[in-house]
Every structure is written in structure tokens, then in C-alpha cells.
Amino acid sequence: MQLVADIGGRRLRALSQIRQSVAIAGIAALLLALFAMFHWVVRSEEWVNHTHRVKLAIERALAGLAAAEAADRRFLITDDPEALEPRTRALAGARDAAARVATLTADNPVQHQRARDLAALVERHIAYLDTTLELERQGRDQDVREYIRTGPGLRAMAEIIARSAAMQAEEDRLLVARSERVARLQTAFTLTGLILGIGCMALVMATQRRDREIMGGLAEALHDRTILLREINHRVGNSLQMVASLVKLQSAAGDAVARAALRKAEGRILSVGEAHKHLHRTGAIETIDIADYLAALVANLREQIPDGAACLRLDAVSVAVPVEQAVSLGLIVNELVTNAAEHAYAPGDAAVIEVVLRREAGGFRLIVRDHGRGLPDGAGNPSGGGLGMLLLYSLTGQLAGSLRFQSGARGTTAIIEFPAQATEAGA
């Protein structure tokens, strides 16, 4: 069942990731469409402005011709040369406007042909106005009147107005179509932006929901793991306590040498078991407060020493250390204390054994000191290759530390110096 659940969970996570990828791809596509629509809107607005420019140029061409005709009429009526001053500017403006219409309509073949025809008509009408003005300057009033009545001026102006009206009508039609296109694109742009915004919000909400689910699952898994480890530590501690009790019962049936060996084995088992009990009590997983652990260990050692033959004193810095480091320290303390209680004092002497753990630069220093008769060999490391000494040097090696002894008339001191491990939590 657990395997099926795991497979189902993996499939659900895979499907969730696929859906998220599809959503991201869809949002990316919408974003590209939004940029494209924005470009189309800008281009369409440019075409609307282009249509307005065409209409304005046509109106300026007609206005220039009208202004030139008005100047000519004032001159014919008043014979005042000053009346002709606006004429030159008006005709230049009409020519420029007609040329601009042709340039602006180059993209539309029909309108461009009309613009070229319009420019030719403008030139014809300007030539007519120039001829009329020249006859008036020559004093040929009768010829002027006859030329105005029968000349091409009226027909040319009528054609100009008709051609301009046709072009304006076409530009009005284009203006309506282009304005409608801009409106449609603006609506589509707005809707696409709205959809994109909703999609982004939905994706963010889905991602946050998925993250919450994952974090919830991780928190639940961590909680289950913590409970499982506490239960394991509890059971291991109880099992080691049971083993120690069996060893203690067995020691009562043997000779003195066997009893001493079994008592040491019992102490070693209890020192390891105390670490697991401490983990269970505190709920910790990876670290142990070394001061609390050594206090419990020393209390157990007081009970193990026969007839309360030793006074144990503890002075340990309170610091969290990794479980492996704490177990090694516990075994070292157990070995040194039991050895001191057994060998440092004569029967009946008041035995005092001190256990000190101090924080040093970059590590720790453990001191186990007695005030007994000292080592047989004097100062220096003790001789012999028994299990206890092998165990001490092996455990010190696991701590990456060093072990040395100082012995004299006032007793023996064991000093272990070792570095703090990477997971050590600090004081």
C-alpha cells in the first residue's frame, strides 16, 4: 500500500508540474500576443493619423487656390498691387499641398492616381490665373472679361473640387475602417491583458498552493520522522537498559575478575543507552546538551561504583554537540572514572574523582582527575594494552583528538583535547 501511495504521489506531482509548465507556456504565448497586438494598435493608429494628414493636405491645396483667386479678384477690382501680396504664398502652398497629397497616397494606387490628376489640375488652374493676371496688367480689360467667361478656369476649378471631393470621400471611408480596426485591436489588447493578468494571478496562486502542499508534506514527514526517531531512541534505550540489567545479573554469578569485567561492560552499555534516553526526553535528533548528558552519566556511575566508594564531581560547559561525539565522550568518561575508582585509591580511602569539560579555542578539553596514588610508572601514559586502554585511544581517535596522562604523588589526570565538529551548535 505504501508503494502504491508513493507511486500515486509521484504521478500527481508529475501531473502538477506538467500543468504548471503548460500554464507557463500559455502565459508566454499570451504575452507574445499582447506585444503583437500592441504593435498592431500602434501601426493602426499611425494609419489613422496618415488618413488625417491626407485630408488636411487636400484641404490646404483647395484653400491655397481659393486664397490666390481672392487675391486676383481684389486686384481686378481695385487695381492695387498690394492686393497680390498673399497670392504668391497661396499658390506655393497649393503646389506643396498637392505634391504632399501625391506623396502620402503612394501606398494606394487609386488615390495616388487621383492625387497626380489633382496636382495637374492645380497647375492648369494656376496657369489660368497667371494668364488672367497678365492680361489685366496689359490693360486688356475686354480680353480679361472674355477669358474669364470662356476660359478653362471655371472648368478646372470644378474638376479640382470634384476630384478633391472624391479623394476626401475615399479617405473618410478609410478613416472609418481604420478607426474601427483600432477600436477592435484596443478591445482585444485590453481583453488579452486582462486574461494575462488573471492567468498570472492564477499561476501565482497555484504555485503558492503547491508550495504550501509541499511544505505541509515536508513538515508532516519531518514530524513523523521526529516521532519515529524518538520512538527508536526510546526502544534502543530500553533495550540497552535491559542488556545492562542482564549483564549485572550475570556478574553476580561469576568470580571477581568476571564480575569486574561485566561491571565495566555494564557501564559501557549504560553510557550508550543514556544518550538514547536523553534524545528521547529532549526530542532532539542530531545533538545532545553535553552537560545534561554527562550529569546523567555521572549519576549512573555513582550507582555502579561498589558501596559508594567514590565522590564524583562534575563541572561541564553546557553546549550542544553531535550525538556521535557525545557517545564517544560518554564512553571515555565511563572508562576513566571506573578505572580511577578501581585503581587510584586503596581500600577504605576517601576517593574523589573530578570530571571537567571546558571550551577551548576551536574545540574542547576533557579532564578526569583523581587524587589517588598515581600511576605505577610515574608521569606519562600508563603501560599495558588492555581493552580499556585500547578503547580509550580508539574513542579519542574518533574525536580526532589527543589523549595524555599526568601522574604524580597527588594523583592522576587524564586530558583529552579534541576539536568541535561542524554540527556543534554552540554554547
Written as one letter, the residue type at 48 is V
Residue with cell 509541499: 214
pLDDT per position as a tens digit, 158-204 = 888 888 888 889 889 988 988 888 888 888 888 887 887 787 787 77
Neighbours of 287 (CB within 10 A): 19
The yes-or-no verdict on residue 65 having pLDDT over 50 is yes
User: Average per-residue pLDDT in the chain?
Assistant: 78
326: nearest Cα among 340, 316, 337: 316
The residue ranges of DSSP E strands in 280-333, in sequence order, are 287-289, 310-316, 320-322
- Pick 257 or 334 by higher pLDDT: 334
The yes-or-no verdict on residue 278 having pLDDT over 70 is no
286: helix, strand or coil: coil
Mean pLDDT of 245-251: 60
Residue 423: the pLDDT is 43
With cut-offs at 50, 70 and 90, classify the pLDDT of residue 252.
low
172-176, 347-351, 396-400: segment of lowest average pLDDT: 347-351
Residues 94 and 119: their CA atoms lie apart, in Å, by: 9
Residues 370 and 149: their CA atoms lie apart, in Å, by: 144
DSSP for 175-223, written as a single string: HHHHHHHHHHHHHHHHHHHHHHHHHHHHHHHHHHHHHHHHHHHHHHHHH
Residue 39: the pLDDT is 80
pLDDT per position as a tens digit, 290-311 = 898 888 888 888 877 765 556 8
Mean pLDDT of 72-78: 77
- Pick 83 or 341 by higher pLDDT: 341
pLDDT per position as a tens digit, 100-151 = 988 988 988 998 898 898 888 888 888 887 877 777 777 776 766 666 666 6
The yes-or-no verdict on residue 8 having pLDDT over 70 is no
Residue with cell 585511544: 393
Residue 89: the pLDDT is 87
58-67, 216-225, 247-256, 402-411: segment of lowest average pLDDT: 247-256
Task: Specify the DSSP element, H or E, that contains 408.
Answer: strand 402-408
Residue 247: the pLDDT is 58
90-94, 231-235, 279-283: segment of lowest average pLDDT: 231-235
Residues 248 and 259: their CA atoms lie apart, in Å, by: 8
Residues in contact with 52: Cβ distance below 8 Å, sequence separation at least 6, in sequence order: 175
Neighbours of 264 (CB within 10 A): 21
Residue 56: the pLDDT is 93
Residue 379: the pLDDT is 45
Q: Are 414 and 372 in contact (CB under 8 A)?
A: no
The yes-or-no verdict on residue 368 having pLDDT over 90 is yes
With cut-offs at 50, 70 and 90, classify the pLDDT of residue 18.
confident
Q: Are 244 and 270 in contact (CB under 8 A)?
A: yes
Domains in the chain, please, with CATH? 2-212 (1.20.120.1730), 286-419 (3.30.565.10)
Residue 290: the pLDDT is 87
With cut-offs at 50, 70 and 90, classify the pLDDT of residue 235.
low
Residues 312 and 148: their CA atoms lie apart, in Å, by: 139
Cα–chain-centroid distance for residue 342? 63
Mean pLDDT of 275-298: 78
Residues 357 and 372: their CA atoms lie apart, in Å, by: 21
Residues 116 and 122: their CA atoms lie apart, in Å, by: 10
Residues 228 and 212: their CA atoms lie apart, in Å, by: 24
Residues 266 and 245: their CA atoms lie apart, in Å, by: 8
Q: Please report, rounded to a whole number, the percentage of residues in the chain having pLDDT higher than 90.
A: 8
5: helix, strand or coil: helix
353: helix, strand or coil: strand
383: helix, strand or coil: coil
301: nearest Cα among 289, 291, 311: 311
CA end-to-end span of the chain: 45
Residues in contact with 93: Cβ distance below 8 Å, sequence separation at least 6, in sequence order: 60, 63, 64, 67
415: helix, strand or coil: strand
- 197 φ/ψ angles, rounded to the nearest 5 degrees: -65, -45
